[in-house]
C-alpha cells in the first residue's frame, strides 16, 4: 500500500473541513490553533497512517494540500 503524508498550507486554509470528511483513514482534524486569518485550519494527527490516496487534496477547493508520497 502507498505511504505518504499530507502537507497543508495552514495560512491559506479557510477551515472548510472538506478534506476531513474525504479522508478514509480519519487522520485529519481541525487544529486548536488559528492562522493569520483567524481560522482554525486542518491538520494531520497521524502521518504514519496516511495511505497517500490524495482524496484530501482533491477535495480542497483552494488547493492548499499536497500529498507527499514516499517511494
Query: Strands (DSSP E) along 1-71, which ranges?
Result: 4-8, 28-34, 40-44, 65-69
Show the domains of the chain with their CATH numbers.
4-69 (3.30.70.20)
pLDDT value at position 19? 98
Helix (H, G, I), strand (E, B) or coil at 32: strand
pLDDT value at position 2? 86
Residue entry with cell 488547493: 63
Residues in the chain where the model's pLDDT stays below 50: none
CB contact at 8 A, 44 and 5: yes
Q: Give the predicted TM-score (pTM) of the model.
A: 0.90
Amino acid at each position: 500500500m502507498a505511504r505518504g503524508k499530507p502537507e497543508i498550507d495552514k495560512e491559506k486554509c479557510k477551515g472548510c473541513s472538506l478534506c476531513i470528511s474525504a479522508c478514509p483513514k480519519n487522520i485529519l482534524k481541525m487544529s486548536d490553533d488559528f492562522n493569520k486569518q483567524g481560522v482554525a485550519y486542518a491538520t494531520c494527527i497521524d502521518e504514519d497512517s496516511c495511505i497517500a490516496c490524495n482524496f484530501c487534496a482533491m477535495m480542497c477547493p483552494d488547493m492548499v494540500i499536497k500529498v507527499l508520497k514516499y517511494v
